[in-house]
Amino acid sequence: MRRQLIAGNWKMHGSHQANAELLAGILAARPFACDLAVCVPYPYLSETAVALAGSDLRWGAQDCSAHEQGAYTGEVAVAMLAEFGCRYAIVGHSERRLYHAESDQLVADKAKAALAHGITPIVCVGETLAQRDAGQTDAVVKRQLSAVIHALGHCAGEMVVAYEPVWAIGTGKVATPQQAQAVHAVLRAQLRAAAANADSMKILYGGSMKPDNAATLLAQPDIDGGLIGGASLKAADFVAICRAAS
């Protein structure tokens, strides 16, 4: 039995006060039967690290640089994140692929950089609505994951994968549990060919997961948690999803 992971992706939301209230609300509702993380905007990483010190609520970044250090204005190195206890970095989120033209190769390089510093990459894959309608879903997610598997080599088993259909992100149009499970099974099969521990790797679902649909999604055999956007910004909603997880 895989222990599930519920990870909040705050995206570009938050303030000192809102973050403090949100974190306090989550901390007060523990314990949960799943692993927990919040992926926060860079400026708030430090205060989040302080607020969560000594707790089992982990924290992560929403991106990282593929470069070790150097003249890359505006980028944040993995070594910097690692220095103050960052556990996860989301890489390849569809918003970065879309708005920042991130390629499969760049996403793979970021995942590799994260692992090199002991940070678990949460590697996002997912198809657009046009790709789904054209019957390309499996091919798209396999191509995206394959770049990362190739870059990580024998460390591929250390990543977390997140299946996030682009058409379900922030739209309220959630994938049905059957649609999500079908893609998760494809991804699991691909991981089995690449990593000896594929059956214990986590594949999260992301895309309009909410308190009212979390339980059925999380009950699917290959769904091992959630990457939660909008519903991670309200403590009550995030807590309800954590309670639906095992």
Which one, of 1, 72, 73, 12, lies nearest residue 42 by Cα? 12
Catalytic site residue from 95, 102, 127, 164: 164
Helices and strands (DSSP H and E) totals, the chain: 10, 8
What count of other Cβ atoms lies within 10 Å of the Cβ of residue 107? Answer: 25
Which residue's Cβ has the minimum distance to ligand PGA?
229
Write the DSSP assignment of 68-108 as a string of letters. SSSS-TT---HHHHHHTT--EEEES-HHHHHHS---HHHHH
Query: Of 52 and 169, which CB lies nearer to ligand PGA in the complex structure?
Result: 169
Q: Minimum Å distance from CB 2 to ligand PGA?
A: 20
SS3 30: coil
Q: Minimum Å distance from CB 237 to ligand PGA?
A: 10
How far, in whole angstroms, is CA 88 from its chain's centroid?
A: 8
Query: Tokens for 223?
Result: 């769904």
164 is a catalytic site residue: yes
93 is a catalytic site residue: yes
Find out whether 152 and 80 touch, Cβ atoms under 8 Å.
Answer: no
Catalytic site residue from 93, 95, 127, 184: 93
Q: Minimum Å distance from CB 186 to ligand PGA?
A: 20
What count of other Cβ atoms lies within 10 Å of the Cβ of residue 143? Answer: 12
Query: Of 10 and 77, which CB lies nearer to ligand PGA in the complex structure?
Result: 10
Please calculate the CA angle 97-62-104 and round it to the nearest 5 degrees: 30
Query: Of 63 and 164, which CB lies nearer to ligand PGA in the complex structure?
Result: 164
Please give the residue ranges that form the binding site for ligand PGA (CB under 6 A). 9, 164, 169-170, 206-209, 227-231
Query: Of 77 and 90, which CB lies nearer to ligand PGA in the complex structure?
Result: 90
Query: Of 190 and 208, which CB lies nearer to ligand PGA in the complex structure?
Result: 208
The residues annotated as belonging to the active site are 93, 164
